[in-house]
A and B are shown apart, each in its own frame.
Chain A
Amino acid sequence: MKADFQIWRGNASGGKFETYSTEIAEGMVVLDAVHQIQAAHANDLAVRWNCKAGKCGSCSAEINGIPKLMCMTRLSELPLNKPVLLQPMKAFPLIKDLVTDVSWNFTVKKKIKKFKPRPPDAQDGTWRMLQQDIDRVQEFRKCIECFLCQDVCHVLREHQLHAAFIGPRFLVHVAALEMHPLDIEDRVEELKKANGIGYCNITKCCTTVCPEDITITDNAIIPLKERVADRFYDPLKKLFRIFRSINK
């Protein structure tokens, strides 16, 4: 059986969708089809991949308009009676075809204060941590940096506020650091100011696309927002409460 794929071909200065037809076999994923097309019809087709098993986060693209990993999307999940539409991620500048310039993400990470552990617990320089105390952070550390959550977040995608907002991926990163049982650094002020956590209005689109099933909004962003609120708004709230009780 053959299936058709409409793949975006072009670079920053322009391009168009090209249609390719390729043979489909049982169990194939989108990335397999792209590779077949690349080998047979379009040797210079730009695409990133490494692991082909959802572990490296390289093969992010928009499949029929939805941000996904191409290596983990089976063709059997897609309607093949019409062409499968393949586009690069939209939240980042295009390099070529399915490849975008994601370097902004690497710059953002560098600006976040690094891990700073408390002094070791034991004589031999090691620490003691209980499994139940690290489960939460281990969830965040599953992140494969596919940047699909960044791609889908309207603050970056539509409003292009890359300069003011670090995006869900790096809020997860900050959460992993802040909730790390050993970490003693304080990142609450930068969360509010430099990281722009206030821009997130909890639409949860990021959580929906995360291939690692990280509960980005509920487990990472909301607790961080609470920390920010406690630090910056709590005194006001307190004042307000006092004011009300006096008026009663």
Chain B
Amino acid sequence: MSSFDTYNYDVLVIGAGGAGLRAAIEATANGVSVALICKSLLGKAHTVMAEGGIAAALSNVDERDNWRVHFADTMRGGQYLNDWRMAELHAKEAPDRVRELEAWGALFDRTKDGRILQRNFGGHKYPRLAHVGDRTGLEMIRTLQDHGIHQGIDVHMECTIINLLKDGERVAGALGYEREKGQFKLFRAKAIVIATGGIGRAYKITSNSWEYTGDGHSLAYHAGAELMDMEFVQFHPTGMVWPPSVRGILVTEGVRGEGGILLNREHKRFMFNEIPELYRLQTADNEEEGWKYTQGDRLAKRPPELLTRDHVARCIVREIKEGRGSPHNGVFLDISWIKTKIPNAAEHIKKKLPSMYHQFKKLADIDITKEAMEVGPTTHYMMGGIRVNADTQMSTVPGLFAAGEAAAGLHGANRLGGNSLSDLLVFGKRAGEFAARFAKENSQGVIDDRKVEAFVQQALEPFERTAGDNPFQVQYDLQDAMQDLVGIVRKEDELVKAMHELKKLRERFSKVRVIGNREYNTGWHTALDLQHLLTVSEAITRAAIERKESRGAHFREDHPQKDEHSGNCNLIIVKGEDGQMLVKRMPLRDMRPDLIQIIDEMK
């Protein structure tokens, strides 16, 4: 019998990014005992990297903005596959959640009259993103962290959850290991919130960190929860492409929001070539109008660079494929050109985009105030995730909640920039509140010790193998396969091939071998993360095969059109009785008439 420490809490929050922190704060405010768990140190979650801003219709910069416009923008961006109730709650509650951050000490950039400043971003009709230069995520996570540490939350840092435990239908606890010594920890809890973020490490070129191995998605799936919209992986149009070692690192959309333009090798502004029907009435007619928009001209329409990410990413891929890319297989993103428009452009760029300036200067020897950057698409965000109730954030498993990037629904087929940070706040709070309520109304479930023991043994198996693959190599091969076969442009035969590859990778995973002991052993950690990566990769691929149309972030070369007939549904992934992964179609819920009216009015 192996030993492990046992802890008891009312609510267990897995993940300490914006969503997890906000959930933990809310749960403690509701008077229950709370633990917050994270794989890295506190404050290092992905949220810290967010750059551009938090979307909320504060209407500080343009009084025409309000929750209705934000709602309509979010639904249009998601190609109407979004859960409309979530989109409604999000648009209505985001402003309060942002103001609350200010009350907790956040210092956003200001308007001239001293209120929170907002900037333009893709797909948002009016300037809507509250921001701090291009380090908004840092401001947000630090504010939540510094507020949270005084609320009596127990934080378990550098602790990775590897299994969820159930009592009958409902969730009863979670098993994890702490990285330092490799000891196991058993958490008994009445309710659990999954806030583990995304899956970007399933791809080779990504803006995501080592943490993004889809743990929460996979834990919930194996505990019987439904996943939804897994085919929708957001490829951000602008990641760094050169030098090779920085490939994939994000270049914020804020660059385009501040007037940056995309050029091909012929120095042509190619984004004007194709404007999608849904956005024709909202897009600038010419370059001058686009520039005026970025400078706050209220009569001007947005430049095509600020169309939704799915579209911009595909246009870039086309330029590169047709031989008009930049020297290192990207395109040019130029902000330095604004010097022809405004005085002190260099200072202005450094003030508005300080970390981009620093990042390029330091990592690529490029001064963005003088030269264009080279950029290309990078895996960025997972729209798909755990299916939840819009109001409570509870999954289909009683007592198991989800919020943030790990949950599905708000963004539909494509997320608008800035809508993630607001998502974390709005639904993190809701998840915390309803998890606390669930914990108060239910007693602690019973955990079967033999199950725990079996999970522990399973986790230790890789140490016992004397032959077998190196876990890093299996991870690299999985990333290559997903990048090549389930990337931005997809087709049936490649997706089918990906399924075969994943099957082979799963076999290799079952024989993966770990050297050394349990102390801070990154090889072991990588080996354990693999099971999650394999599960989410399979879910993405199966859903991508099933959706035989193109919509939002999911583009099928063999079915390039949107198909209202077969496509107006969400795809649900669930574990079948025999352990097989099943894909089900779920028709869209009928939208409330008042919301339909909003959408019609905003067309």
Chain A residues in the interface with B (C-beta under 8 A): 11, 25-29, 32, 38-39, 43-58, 72, 74, 95-97, 99, 101-103, 106, 109-110, 114-115, 117, 120, 125-131, 134, 137-138, 141-145, 177, 180, 182-183
Distance in Å from the Cβ of B175 to the closest Cβ of chain A? 22
> When the two chains form the complex, which single residue of B110, B146, B359, B524 contacts A114, counting CB atoms closer than 8 Å?
B146
Do the beta carbons of A99 and B41 come within 8 Å of each other?
no
Given contacts A27-B244, A114-B105, A141-B107, 8 further A-B contacts (CB under 8 A): A38-B522, A44-B515, A50-B44, A53-B363, A54-B358, A115-B146, A126-B99, A141-B142
Known A-B contacts A54-B359, A55-B355; A106 and B40 likewise in contact (beta carbons under 8 Å)? no
Q: Given the complex of chains A and B, what is the CA–CA distance between A197 and B249 in angstroms?
A: 39
Do the beta carbons of B520 and A95 come within 8 Å of each other?
yes
Q: Given the complex of chains A and B, what is the CA–CA distance between A126 and B111 in angstroms?
A: 13
Q: In the assembled complex, which residues on chain B have CB atoms less than 8 Å from the CB atom of A103? A: 157
Known A-B contacts A56-B44, A110-B150; A39 and B472 likewise in contact (beta carbons under 8 Å)? yes
> When the two chains form the complex, which single residue of A47, A55, A72, A96 contacts B49, counting CB atoms closer than 8 Å?
A55
**Which B residue sits closest to A27, measured CB to CB?**
B243
Q: Given the complex of chains A and B, what is the CA–CA distance between A43 and B242 in angstroms?
A: 27
Q: Does B593 contact A (CB under 8 A)?
A: no
A-B contact pairs, 24 of them (CB 8 A): A11-B519, A25-B243, A26-B244, A27-B246, A38-B523, A43-B514, A43-B521, A44-B522, A50-B44, A50-B210, A55-B48, A56-B40, A56-B209, A72-B362, A95-B180, A114-B146, A120-B103, A128-B115, A129-B110, A129-B114, A130-B110, A138-B132, A138-B133, A145-B43
Q: Given the complex of chains A and B, what is the CA–CA distance between A215 and B595 in angstroms?
A: 51
> When the two chains form the complex, which single residue of B49, B99, B132, B242 contacts A53, counting CB atoms closer than 8 Å?
B49
Q: Does B476 contact A (CB under 8 A)?
A: yes
Q: In the assembled complex, which residues on chain A have CB atoms less than 8 Å from the CB atom of B147? A: 114-115
Known A-B contacts A27-B244, A56-B44, A131-B110; A39 and B476 likewise in contact (beta carbons under 8 Å)? yes
Q: Given the complex of chains A and B, what is the CA–CA distance between A101 and B520 in angstroms?
A: 12
Q: In the assembled complex, which residues on chain B have CB atoms less than 8 Å from the CB atom of A109? A: 146, 149
Q: In the assembled complex, which residues on chain B have CB atoms less than 8 Å from the CB atom of A52? A: 209, 246, 249
Q: In the assembled complex, which residues on chain B have CB atoms less than 8 Å from the CB atom of A143? A: 142
Q: Does B473 contact A (CB under 8 A)?
A: yes
Interface residues of B in 128-156 (CB under 8 A from A): 132-133, 135, 137-139, 142, 146-147, 149-150, 155
Do the beta carbons of A55 and B245 come within 8 Å of each other?
no
Q: Given the complex of chains A and B, what is the CA–CA distance between A54 and B361 in angstroms?
A: 12
Distance in Å from the Cβ of A183 to the closest Cβ of chain B? 8
Interface residues of B in 447-477 (CB under 8 A from A): 470-473, 476
Do the beta carbons of B44 and A58 come within 8 Å of each other?
yes
Q: Does B590 contact A (CB under 8 A)?
A: no
**Which A residue sits closest to B209, measured CB to CB?**
A50
Do the beta carbons of A115 and B363 come within 8 Å of each other?
no
Distance in Å from the Cβ of A149 to the closest Cβ of chain B? 16
Do the beta carbons of A138 and B209 come within 8 Å of each other?
no
Q: Given the complex of chains A and B, what is the CA–CA distance between A43 and B517 in angstroms?
A: 11
Q: Report B148-192 CB contacts with A as 1/0, cut-off 8 Å.
A: 011000010100000000000000000000001000000000000
> When the two chains form the complex, which single residue of A32, A54, A128, A180 contacts B105, counting CB atoms closer than 8 Å?
A180
Q: Does B364 contact A (CB under 8 A)?
A: yes
Q: Given the complex of chains A and B, what is the CA–CA distance between A54 and B110 in angstroms?
A: 25
Q: Given the complex of chains A and B, what is the CA–CA distance between A101 and B157 in angstroms?
A: 11
Q: Given the complex of chains A and B, what is the CA–CA distance between A52 and B362 in angstroms?
A: 12
Distance in Å from the Cβ of B394 to the closest Cβ of chain A? 29
Q: Report B521-538 CB contacts with A as 1/0, cut-off 8 Å.
A: 111101000000000000
Chain B residues in the interface with A (C-beta under 8 A): 40-46, 48-49, 99, 102-105, 107, 109-110, 113-116, 132-133, 135, 137-139, 142, 146-147, 149-150, 155, 157, 180, 209-211, 242-246, 249-250, 355, 358-359, 362-364, 470-473, 476, 514-517, 519-524, 526
Q: In the assembled complex, which residues on chain B have CB atoms less than 8 Å from the CB atom of A48? A: 40-41
Known A-B contacts A50-B40, A142-B135; A43 and B522 likewise in contact (beta carbons under 8 Å)? yes
Do the beta carbons of A46 and B476 come within 8 Å of each other?
no
Q: In the assembled complex, which residues on chain A have CB atoms less than 8 Å from the CB atom of B470? A: 39, 43
Do the beta carbons of B107 and A180 come within 8 Å of each other?
yes
Do the beta carbons of A45 and B48 come within 8 Å of each other?
no
Q: In the assembled complex, which residues on chain A have CB atoms less than 8 Å from the CB atom of B514? A: 43-44
Distance in Å from the Cβ of A29 to the closest Cβ of chain B? 6
Do the beta carbons of B49 and A32 come within 8 Å of each other?
no
Do the beta carbons of B138 and A39 come within 8 Å of each other?
no
**Which of B103, B473, B514, B526 has the most chain A CB atoms closer than 10 A to its own CB?**
B103
Q: In the assembled complex, which residues on chain A have CB atoms less than 8 Å from the CB atom of B149? A: 106, 109-110
Q: Given the complex of chains A and B, what is the CA–CA distance between A129 and B107 in angstroms?
A: 9
Q: Given the complex of chains A and B, what is the CA–CA distance between A53 and B51 in angstroms?
A: 12
**Which B residue sits closest to A105, measured CB to CB?**
B41
Q: Given the complex of chains A and B, what is the CA–CA distance between A91 and B47 in angstroms?
A: 28
**Which A residue sits closest to B518, measured CB to CB?**
A44
Distance in Å from the Cβ of A151 to the closest Cβ of chain B? 15
Q: Given the complex of chains A and B, what is the CA–CA distance between A26 and B147 in angstroms?
A: 42
Do the beta carbons of B102 and A126 come within 8 Å of each other?
yes
**Which A residue sits closest to B106, measured CB to CB?**
A141
Q: In the assembled complex, which residues on chain B have CB atoms less than 8 Å from the CB atom of A138? A: 107, 132-133
Distance in Å from the Cβ of A142 to the closest Cβ of chain B? 7
Q: In the assembled complex, which residues on chain A have CB atoms less than 8 Å from the CB atom of B132? A: 138, 141
> When the two chains form the complex, which single residue of B41, B209, B515 contacts A51, counting CB atoms closer than 8 Å?
B209
The 6 A-B pairs at the shortest CB distance, nearest first, are namely A27-B243, A43-B523, A44-B516, A128-B114, A115-B105, A39-B472
Distance in Å from the Cβ of A115 to the closest Cβ of chain B? 4
Distance in Å from the Cβ of B221 to the closest Cβ of chain A? 25
Known A-B contacts A52-B209, A58-B44; A29 and B114 likewise in contact (beta carbons under 8 Å)? no
